[in-house]
Amino acid sequence: MLSRVVALTVLPLALLACDPAPPSTEADPAPAAASAPAEAGAYLPVPGGRIWYHRTGSGSGTPALLLHGGPGFPSHYLKPLEALGADRPVVRYDQLGAGRSGATTDTTLFTIEHFVAELDSLRSALGWERVHVVGHSWGTILGFEYWRAHPDRVASLTLASAALEIPAWLENTRRLVGTLSDSAQEAIRVREASGEYEAPDYQAAVAEFYAQYVFRHPVEADLDSSMAAFNTTLYGYMWGPSEFTATGTLQGYDATPLLGTIDVPTLYTVGEFDEAGPDVIRRHAAMTPGARVVEIPGAAHITTWDNPEATFQAVKDFLLGVDRGGG
Protein backbone atom coordinates (compact mmCIF):
# COMPACT_ATOMS: atom_id res chain seq x y z
CA MET A 1 0.00 0.00 0.00
CA LEU A 2 1.33 3.40 -0.94
CA SER A 3 1.13 5.89 1.87
CA ARG A 4 1.49 8.85 -0.45
CA VAL A 5 0.61 9.38 -4.11
CA VAL A 6 3.56 8.72 -6.42
CA ALA A 7 3.17 9.54 -10.13
CA LEU A 8 4.22 9.96 -13.71
CA THR A 9 3.06 12.77 -16.01
CA VAL A 10 4.39 16.05 -17.49
CA LEU A 11 4.62 19.21 -19.46
CA PRO A 12 6.47 21.65 -21.77
CA LEU A 13 7.98 24.81 -23.20
CA ALA A 14 11.00 26.92 -23.98
CA LEU A 15 14.38 27.17 -22.42
CA LEU A 16 16.36 29.13 -19.92
CA ALA A 17 19.84 30.34 -20.86
CA CYS A 18 22.29 28.34 -18.83
CA ASP A 19 26.02 27.88 -19.34
CA PRO A 20 26.93 24.25 -18.69
CA ALA A 21 29.33 23.68 -15.84
CA PRO A 22 31.79 20.79 -15.69
CA PRO A 23 30.53 17.63 -14.00
CA SER A 24 31.64 16.71 -10.51
CA THR A 25 32.15 13.26 -9.03
CA GLU A 26 32.08 14.39 -5.41
CA ALA A 27 29.15 13.59 -3.16
CA ASP A 28 26.17 15.94 -3.22
CA PRO A 29 25.90 17.68 0.15
CA ALA A 30 22.12 17.94 -0.11
CA PRO A 31 20.58 14.99 -1.98
CA ALA A 32 16.83 14.96 -2.45
CA ALA A 33 16.58 11.92 -0.18
CA ALA A 34 19.33 10.89 2.19
CA SER A 35 17.75 7.44 2.45
CA ALA A 36 18.33 6.65 -1.24
CA PRO A 37 20.90 3.84 -1.58
CA ALA A 38 24.38 4.63 -2.83
CA GLU A 39 24.91 4.22 -6.55
CA ALA A 40 27.86 5.18 -8.73
CA GLY A 41 27.40 8.37 -10.66
CA ALA A 42 28.42 11.98 -11.00
CA TYR A 43 26.95 15.41 -10.34
CA LEU A 44 26.49 18.42 -12.60
CA PRO A 45 25.84 21.96 -11.31
CA VAL A 46 22.64 23.51 -12.69
CA PRO A 47 20.60 26.55 -11.66
CA GLY A 48 19.21 25.80 -8.21
CA GLY A 49 21.56 22.95 -7.27
CA ARG A 50 23.15 19.87 -8.78
CA ILE A 51 21.79 16.92 -10.69
CA TRP A 52 22.94 13.30 -10.38
CA TYR A 53 23.53 11.20 -13.48
CA HIS A 54 24.70 7.68 -14.21
CA ARG A 55 26.56 6.85 -17.42
CA THR A 56 26.73 3.31 -18.84
CA GLY A 57 27.63 1.72 -22.15
CA SER A 58 30.48 2.03 -24.58
CA GLY A 59 28.89 1.11 -27.90
CA SER A 60 29.46 3.21 -31.00
CA GLY A 61 25.82 4.18 -31.58
CA THR A 62 24.33 7.63 -31.04
CA PRO A 63 24.04 8.28 -27.26
CA ALA A 64 20.70 8.03 -25.47
CA LEU A 65 19.39 10.19 -22.62
CA LEU A 66 16.68 8.67 -20.38
CA LEU A 67 14.06 11.09 -19.01
CA HIS A 68 12.01 9.96 -16.02
CA GLY A 69 8.45 10.84 -15.18
CA GLY A 70 6.78 12.60 -12.29
CA PRO A 71 7.56 15.43 -12.13
CA GLY A 72 9.56 14.59 -9.02
CA PHE A 73 9.64 10.78 -9.35
CA PRO A 74 13.25 9.51 -9.54
CA SER A 75 14.80 7.45 -12.31
CA HIS A 76 15.22 4.06 -10.53
CA TYR A 77 12.51 2.45 -12.66
CA LEU A 78 14.37 3.23 -15.90
CA LYS A 79 17.35 1.04 -14.96
CA PRO A 80 16.31 -1.79 -17.35
CA LEU A 81 16.93 0.59 -20.27
CA GLU A 82 20.58 0.96 -19.28
CA ALA A 83 21.03 -2.34 -21.14
CA LEU A 84 20.88 -0.18 -24.27
CA GLY A 85 24.51 0.49 -23.38
CA ALA A 86 25.53 -2.60 -25.34
CA ASP A 87 24.99 -0.48 -28.47
CA ARG A 88 25.64 3.08 -27.31
CA PRO A 89 26.45 5.36 -24.37
CA VAL A 90 23.41 5.79 -22.12
CA VAL A 91 22.78 8.32 -19.36
CA ARG A 92 20.04 8.05 -16.76
CA TYR A 93 19.65 11.08 -14.50
CA ASP A 94 17.47 12.50 -11.77
CA GLN A 95 15.96 15.88 -12.55
CA LEU A 96 16.56 18.62 -9.97
CA GLY A 97 14.54 17.97 -6.83
CA ALA A 98 14.17 14.23 -7.45
CA GLY A 99 16.13 11.15 -6.44
CA ARG A 100 19.83 11.72 -5.81
CA SER A 101 19.82 15.21 -7.27
CA GLY A 102 19.78 18.30 -5.09
CA ALA A 103 16.70 18.82 -2.95
CA THR A 104 14.58 21.86 -3.64
CA THR A 105 11.13 23.22 -2.89
CA ASP A 106 11.74 26.41 -4.89
CA THR A 107 8.68 26.64 -7.12
CA THR A 108 10.37 29.18 -9.41
CA LEU A 109 12.40 26.21 -10.68
CA PHE A 110 9.34 24.03 -11.27
CA THR A 111 8.94 25.01 -14.92
CA ILE A 112 9.37 23.38 -18.29
CA GLU A 113 11.88 26.07 -19.16
CA HIS A 114 14.10 25.06 -16.27
CA PHE A 115 13.99 21.34 -17.01
CA VAL A 116 14.65 21.86 -20.75
CA ALA A 117 17.68 24.00 -19.93
CA GLU A 118 18.84 21.47 -17.34
CA LEU A 119 18.66 18.68 -19.92
CA ASP A 120 20.66 20.69 -22.45
CA SER A 121 23.30 21.47 -19.82
CA LEU A 122 23.72 17.75 -19.22
CA ARG A 123 23.97 16.95 -22.93
CA SER A 124 26.56 19.69 -23.38
CA ALA A 125 28.62 18.63 -20.35
CA LEU A 126 28.72 15.08 -21.74
CA GLY A 127 30.10 16.43 -25.01
CA TRP A 128 27.33 14.91 -27.13
CA GLU A 129 26.22 16.85 -30.21
CA ARG A 130 23.09 14.78 -30.95
CA VAL A 131 21.21 12.30 -28.78
CA HIS A 132 18.33 9.90 -28.83
CA VAL A 133 15.79 11.25 -26.33
CA VAL A 134 13.96 8.46 -24.47
CA GLY A 135 11.24 9.93 -22.26
CA HIS A 136 8.56 8.33 -20.12
CA SER A 137 5.31 10.01 -19.02
CA TRP A 138 6.22 13.55 -17.89
CA GLY A 139 9.55 12.82 -19.54
CA THR A 140 7.76 12.69 -22.91
CA ILE A 141 6.69 16.29 -22.53
CA LEU A 142 10.19 17.24 -21.47
CA GLY A 143 11.59 15.35 -24.46
CA PHE A 144 9.11 16.84 -26.91
CA GLU A 145 9.77 20.37 -25.67
CA TYR A 146 13.51 19.74 -25.77
CA TRP A 147 13.12 18.78 -29.44
CA ARG A 148 11.17 21.98 -30.05
CA ALA A 149 13.88 24.08 -28.43
CA HIS A 150 16.86 22.20 -29.94
CA PRO A 151 15.75 20.21 -32.99
CA ASP A 152 19.32 19.98 -34.29
CA ARG A 153 20.40 18.13 -31.13
CA VAL A 154 17.80 15.34 -31.25
CA ALA A 155 18.35 12.22 -33.38
CA SER A 156 15.04 10.59 -32.42
CA LEU A 157 12.21 10.69 -29.90
CA THR A 158 10.97 7.73 -27.88
CA LEU A 159 7.71 8.77 -26.23
CA ALA A 160 6.83 6.06 -23.71
CA SER A 161 3.38 6.18 -22.09
CA ALA A 162 3.13 9.74 -23.30
CA ALA A 163 1.42 12.56 -21.43
CA LEU A 164 1.21 14.91 -24.37
CA GLU A 165 -2.48 15.80 -24.05
CA ILE A 166 -3.42 16.28 -20.43
CA PRO A 167 -7.18 16.84 -21.01
CA ALA A 168 -7.33 13.46 -22.79
CA TRP A 169 -5.17 11.89 -20.05
CA LEU A 170 -7.64 13.06 -17.41
CA GLU A 171 -10.65 11.92 -19.42
CA ASN A 172 -9.11 8.46 -19.74
CA THR A 173 -8.03 8.15 -16.11
CA ARG A 174 -11.48 9.23 -14.95
CA ARG A 175 -12.91 6.45 -17.09
CA LEU A 176 -10.52 4.04 -15.38
CA VAL A 177 -11.60 5.30 -11.95
CA GLY A 178 -15.03 4.03 -12.95
CA THR A 179 -13.63 0.49 -13.02
CA LEU A 180 -12.48 0.60 -9.39
CA SER A 181 -14.42 -0.87 -6.47
CA ASP A 182 -17.52 0.98 -5.34
CA SER A 183 -15.81 1.92 -2.07
CA ALA A 184 -12.81 3.39 -3.90
CA GLN A 185 -15.03 5.41 -6.23
CA GLU A 186 -17.02 6.73 -3.27
CA ALA A 187 -13.85 7.70 -1.37
CA ILE A 188 -12.57 9.57 -4.42
CA ARG A 189 -15.87 11.39 -4.87
CA VAL A 190 -16.18 12.41 -1.22
CA ARG A 191 -12.55 13.29 -0.48
CA GLU A 192 -11.96 15.24 -3.66
CA ALA A 193 -15.07 17.31 -3.00
CA SER A 194 -13.67 18.24 0.42
CA GLY A 195 -10.00 18.39 -0.58
CA GLU A 196 -9.05 15.66 1.94
CA TYR A 197 -6.46 13.99 -0.25
CA GLU A 198 -4.50 12.54 2.68
CA ALA A 199 -7.51 10.66 4.08
CA PRO A 200 -6.79 6.92 4.46
CA ASP A 201 -9.73 5.86 2.29
CA TYR A 202 -8.62 8.20 -0.50
CA GLN A 203 -5.07 6.88 -0.33
CA ALA A 204 -6.42 3.33 -0.40
CA ALA A 205 -8.37 4.21 -3.55
CA VAL A 206 -5.23 5.67 -5.11
CA ALA A 207 -3.34 2.47 -4.27
CA GLU A 208 -6.09 0.41 -5.93
CA PHE A 209 -5.78 2.54 -9.07
CA TYR A 210 -1.99 2.19 -9.03
CA ALA A 211 -2.14 -1.59 -8.74
CA GLN A 212 -4.15 -1.82 -11.94
CA TYR A 213 -3.00 1.04 -14.13
CA VAL A 214 0.40 2.34 -12.94
CA PHE A 215 2.49 -0.72 -12.02
CA ARG A 216 1.37 -4.34 -11.69
CA HIS A 217 4.72 -5.93 -10.95
CA PRO A 218 6.97 -3.35 -9.28
CA VAL A 219 10.57 -4.07 -8.43
CA GLU A 220 10.16 -3.72 -4.69
CA ALA A 221 13.67 -2.44 -3.91
CA ASP A 222 13.41 0.21 -6.62
CA LEU A 223 9.87 1.12 -5.55
CA ASP A 224 11.04 1.63 -1.97
CA SER A 225 13.96 3.77 -3.14
CA SER A 226 11.70 5.74 -5.44
CA MET A 227 9.17 6.50 -2.72
CA ALA A 228 11.96 7.57 -0.35
CA ALA A 229 13.32 9.98 -2.96
CA PHE A 230 10.02 11.20 -4.42
CA ASN A 231 9.51 14.98 -4.29
CA THR A 232 5.81 15.34 -3.48
CA THR A 233 6.06 19.14 -3.41
CA LEU A 234 7.28 19.23 -7.00
CA TYR A 235 4.68 16.69 -8.11
CA GLY A 236 1.87 18.50 -6.35
CA TYR A 237 2.86 21.91 -7.72
CA MET A 238 3.19 20.84 -11.33
CA TRP A 239 0.61 18.03 -11.40
CA GLY A 240 -1.69 17.53 -8.41
CA PRO A 241 -2.88 15.11 -5.72
CA SER A 242 -3.24 11.95 -7.84
CA GLU A 243 -2.72 10.51 -11.31
CA PHE A 244 -6.39 11.09 -12.12
CA THR A 245 -6.72 14.59 -10.62
CA ALA A 246 -4.63 17.48 -11.95
CA THR A 247 -4.65 20.82 -10.12
CA GLY A 248 -1.12 22.02 -10.95
CA THR A 249 0.59 24.04 -13.65
CA LEU A 250 0.48 21.22 -16.20
CA GLN A 251 -3.22 20.55 -16.18
CA GLY A 252 -3.96 22.31 -19.49
CA TYR A 253 -0.97 21.11 -21.50
CA ASP A 254 -1.77 19.87 -25.01
CA ALA A 255 0.93 19.24 -27.61
CA THR A 256 -1.37 17.68 -30.21
CA PRO A 257 -1.51 20.76 -32.48
CA LEU A 258 2.28 20.43 -32.91
CA LEU A 259 2.70 16.66 -33.28
CA GLY A 260 2.47 17.00 -37.06
CA THR A 261 5.63 19.13 -37.05
CA ILE A 262 7.88 16.40 -35.60
CA ASP A 263 10.56 15.69 -38.20
CA VAL A 264 12.71 13.09 -36.44
CA PRO A 265 12.04 9.34 -36.17
CA THR A 266 9.54 8.77 -33.37
CA LEU A 267 8.52 5.71 -31.38
CA TYR A 268 5.51 5.57 -29.09
CA THR A 269 5.20 2.77 -26.55
CA VAL A 270 2.27 2.11 -24.22
CA GLY A 271 1.30 -0.60 -21.77
CA GLU A 272 -1.70 -2.81 -22.42
CA PHE A 273 -3.27 -1.52 -19.17
CA ASP A 274 -1.58 1.88 -19.18
CA GLU A 275 -3.28 4.85 -17.56
CA ALA A 276 -2.04 6.87 -20.55
CA GLY A 277 -4.53 4.91 -22.69
CA PRO A 278 -3.48 2.77 -25.68
CA ASP A 279 -6.18 4.37 -27.85
CA VAL A 280 -4.98 7.86 -26.92
CA ILE A 281 -1.38 6.95 -27.74
CA ARG A 282 -2.33 5.42 -31.07
CA ARG A 283 -4.19 8.63 -31.94
CA HIS A 284 -1.11 10.70 -31.06
CA ALA A 285 1.07 8.43 -33.19
CA ALA A 286 -1.29 8.88 -36.12
CA MET A 287 -0.74 12.64 -35.82
CA THR A 288 3.06 12.22 -35.87
CA PRO A 289 4.66 11.78 -39.31
CA GLY A 290 6.08 8.29 -39.74
CA ALA A 291 5.71 7.36 -36.06
CA ARG A 292 5.68 3.77 -34.86
CA VAL A 293 3.63 2.34 -31.99
CA VAL A 294 4.44 -0.67 -29.83
CA GLU A 295 1.96 -1.88 -27.20
CA ILE A 296 3.67 -3.67 -24.30
CA PRO A 297 1.70 -6.80 -23.32
CA GLY A 298 0.59 -7.23 -19.73
CA ALA A 299 2.00 -3.89 -18.64
CA ALA A 300 0.50 -0.85 -16.97
CA HIS A 301 2.17 2.58 -17.00
CA ILE A 302 5.65 1.61 -15.82
CA THR A 303 6.37 -0.92 -18.53
CA THR A 304 10.01 -1.22 -17.44
CA TRP A 305 8.75 -2.97 -14.30
CA ASP A 306 5.77 -4.85 -15.71
CA ASN A 307 7.41 -6.15 -18.89
CA PRO A 308 11.03 -4.99 -19.04
CA GLU A 309 12.06 -7.42 -21.78
CA ALA A 310 9.44 -6.24 -24.30
CA THR A 311 10.05 -2.59 -23.40
CA PHE A 312 13.80 -2.91 -23.84
CA GLN A 313 13.50 -4.78 -27.14
CA ALA A 314 11.12 -2.21 -28.62
CA VAL A 315 13.43 0.69 -27.79
CA LYS A 316 16.60 -1.18 -28.75
CA ASP A 317 15.27 -2.16 -32.19
CA PHE A 318 14.00 1.37 -32.84
CA LEU A 319 17.27 3.09 -31.91
CA LEU A 320 19.35 0.64 -33.95
CA GLY A 321 17.09 1.24 -36.92
CA VAL A 322 17.53 5.00 -36.62
CA ASP A 323 21.30 4.64 -36.33
CA ARG A 324 21.29 2.58 -39.54
CA GLY A 325 19.37 5.29 -41.37
CA GLY A 326 15.87 3.93 -40.83
CA GLY A 327 12.89 5.78 -39.43
Residues 148, 151: Cα–Cα separation, whole Å: 6
Domains contained in the chain, number: 1
Does 228 fall in a domain?
no
Confidence of residue 17 (pLDDT cuts 50, 70, 90): very low
Of 320, 324, 118, 95, the closest CA to residue 229 belongs to: 95
* Angle subtended at Cα 161 by Cα 142 and Cα 239, rounded to the nearest 5 degrees: 55
pLDDT digits (tens, 9 = 90+) for 213-224: 999 999 999 999
pLDDT digits (tens, 9 = 90+) for 121-147: 999 999 999 999 999 999 999 999 999
Domain that holds residue 157: 42-167+250-323
The answer to whether 75 touches 92, Cβ cutoff 8 Å, is yes
The answer to whether 81 touches 312, Cβ cutoff 8 Å, is yes
Residues 145, 149: Cα–Cα separation, whole Å: 6
Instruction: Report the catalytic residues.
Output: 137, 274, 301
Distances (CA, A) of 142 to 86, 180, 273: 25, 31, 23
Q: What is the mean pLDDT of residues 9-25?
A: 33
Does 244 fall in a domain?
no
The answer to whether 168 touches 280, Cβ cutoff 8 Å, is yes
71 preceded by a cis bond (ω within 30 of 0): yes
Whether 23 has a pLDDT exceeding 50, the answer reads no
Does 132 fall in a domain?
yes
User: At 118, which CATH number?
Assistant: 3.40.50.1820
Give the contacts of 139 (CB within 8 A, at least 6 positions apart): 10, 66, 67, 68, 69, 160
Does 48 fall in a domain?
yes
CB atoms closer than 10 angstroms to residue 259? 21
Confidence of residue 152 (pLDDT cuts 50, 70, 90): very high
Average pLDDT over the chain, rounded to whole?
90
Does 94 fall in a domain?
yes
Does 54 fall in a domain?
yes
AA letter at 54: H
pLDDT digits (tens, 9 = 90+) for 39-76: 689 999 999 999 999 999 989 999 999 999 999 999 99
Does 204 fall in a domain?
no
pLDDT digits (tens, 9 = 90+) for 259-303: 999 999 999 999 999 999 999 999 999 999 999 999 999 999 999
The answer to whether 242 touches 5, Cβ cutoff 8 Å, is yes
